[in-house]
Amino acid sequence: METGKIKGISKFSIALGFFGQALLTGLVAGYVTYFGTDIVGISALAMGNILLVSRVFDGVTDILMGVVIDRNKSKQGKARPWIIRSIIPFILFTILLYSTPGAISGTAKIVFVFVMYNLYALAYTALGCAMNTLNVRLTRDEKEINTISTLMMFGNILGNTLINAAAVAVLTALSGGSSNYTRGAFIKFAVILGVICLAGTLLTYFTTSELKDTDNTQDRQSKEKTDTKASILSLLKNKYWMM
C-alpha cells in the first residue's frame, strides 16, 4: 500500500470491522447487568462492583496495550498482528460471559462473571487498540487518515445504533416470543453477532497493509522507551486521571 490513497475495499472493510465489533460491545454494554441480575441471579451490588473493578483494570490495560503495540515488530506491521490474535478471544469470551452456568453457587457465579468479563475486556482492549492504530499505520496522507477515522466512527456508531434498535426484538424472538429473555437467547445472539464481527474483522486484516517503518535506529528506540516511561509516570502523578 502506498503512502497516499487507500483502496476502497480497505476503507469499506475497516468500517465493517468496527461495525461488527460495536455489535458485540453494544450487547455487553447494554445487557450484561440485566443478564447478571435477572437471569444469572447475581445481586445488583455484586454486579456493580464487578463492573467498577473491571473499569479500573481496563484503564491500566489500555495504556499497557498501547505500549505493546508500539513496540511490536512483525512483517505484518505493529497493529495488524494483534487484530488477528485478539479477534477470536474477543468473540469467545463474549459468548462465554453469556454462558454463565445457573446451577453453580452464588459465589461461583460472581467469580465466573468477573473472570469472563475481564477476559472479554482485555481481548477488546487488544483488538480496539490495534484497530484504532490502523488509521496512522496505513498511510501518511492526512486526508486519507481523516477519511479512515471518519469511517471508523461511522461503523462504530452504526453498530451501536443497530444493536440498540434491534436487540429487544431479536432477544424476544430467540426467547420464544417472551419478554423474559433466556440464557439460550443471549448465547445465540452473541454467536450471531460474533460471526458478523469475525467476518468484518478478518476482511479488515486481509485487505489492509501497514507502511514499513523507515527509521529503526537505536536513538529512536531509546527515545520511545524514555517517552513511554515518562508518560506513564506523568499519568500516575495526575490526580484527575487517578480519580
Tell me the pLDDT of the chain (243 aa) as tens digits. 446 688 889 999 999 999 999 999 999 999 999 999 999 999 999 999 999 988 888 878 888 888 888 888 888 888 999 999 999 999 999 999 999 988 888 899 999 999 999 999 999 999 999 999 888 888 888 889 999 999 999 999 999 999 999 999 999 999 999 989 999 999 999 999 999 999 999 999 999 998 887 655 344 445 555 566 677 777 777 777 676
- Rounded Cα distance, 236 and 243, in Å: 10
Q: How many CB atoms lie within 10 A of CB 77?
A: 23
The Cα–Cα gap between 152 and 134 comes to 10
For residues 200-224, one letter each, b for 16 or more C-beta atoms within 10 angstroms of the residue's C-beta and e for the rest, the string is: bbbbbbebbbbeeeeeeeeeeeeee
The Cα 88–Cα 95 span in angstroms is 11
| pLDDT for 217 | 37
Q: List, in sequence order, the alpha helices (H) in the chain.
A: 8-34, 44-71, 80-97, 106-137, 142-174, 183-207, 218-236, 239-242
Q: Which residues of 124-160 are buried (b: 16+ CB within 10 A; e: fewer)?
A: bbbbbbbbbbbbebbbeeeebbebbeebbeebbebbb
pTM of this prediction? Answer: 0.84
